[in-house]
Amino acid sequence: MSSKWTAADVPDQSGRVAIITGANSGLGYDTAAVLAAKGAHVVLAVRNLDKGNEAADRIKKASPNAVVALQELDLTSLDSVRKAADALRTNYPRIDLLINNAGVMYVPTREVTKDGFEMQFGTNHLGHFALDGLLIDNLLGVEGSRVVTVSSVGHRILAKIHFDDLGWERGYNRIAAYGQSKLSNLLFTYELQRRLKAKGAPTIAVAAHPGFADTELMRHLPSFIPAALWKPITQPAEKGALGTLRAATDPTGQGGDYYGPDGVGEVKGNPKVVASSAQSHDADLQGRLWTVSEELTGVTFPV
242-249 and 26-37 helices, crossing angle to 10°: 50
Total domains in the chain come to 1
Residues facing 148 on adjacent strands: 99, 206
pLDDT at res. 73: 98
Q: What is the mean pLDDT of residues 244-263?
A: 96
What is the band of 291 on the pLDDT scale with cuts at 50, 70, 90?
Answer: very high
In a domain, 174, yes or no: yes
In a domain, 83, yes or no: yes
pLDDT at res. 282: 98
In a domain, 156, yes or no: yes
In a domain, 276, yes or no: yes
pLDDT tens track for 7-20: 999 999 999 999 99
In a domain, 4, yes or no: no
Q: CA-to-CA distance for 272 and 177, rounded, in angstroms?
A: 27
In a domain, 3, yes or no: no
Q: CA-to-CA distance for 277 and 147, rounded, in angstroms?
A: 20
Longest distance between any two alpha carbons in the chain, whole Å:
52
Residues facing 20 on adjacent strands: 44, 99
Is residue 259 flagged as an active site residue? no
128-135 and 174-199 helices, crossing angle to 10°: 20
- CATH number, domain with residue 189: 3.40.50.720
Average pLDDT value over all residues in the chain: 93
In a domain, 6, yes or no: no
pLDDT tens track for 30-51: 999 999 999 999 999 999 999 9
Contact residues for 123 (Cβ-Cβ < 8 A; gap 6+) = 75, 76, 102, 103, 104, 113, 181
In a domain, 64, yes or no: yes
List, as one string, the DSSP characters of 83-138. Answer: HHHHHHHHH-S--SEEEE-------SS--B-TTS-BHHHIIIIIIHHHHHHHHTHH
Is the whole model's pTM more than 0.85, yes or no?
A: yes
List 29, 92, 178, 190, catalytic entry? 178
Domain boundaries, position 142: 11-297
pLDDT at res. 271: 97
End-to-end CA distance of the chain: 34
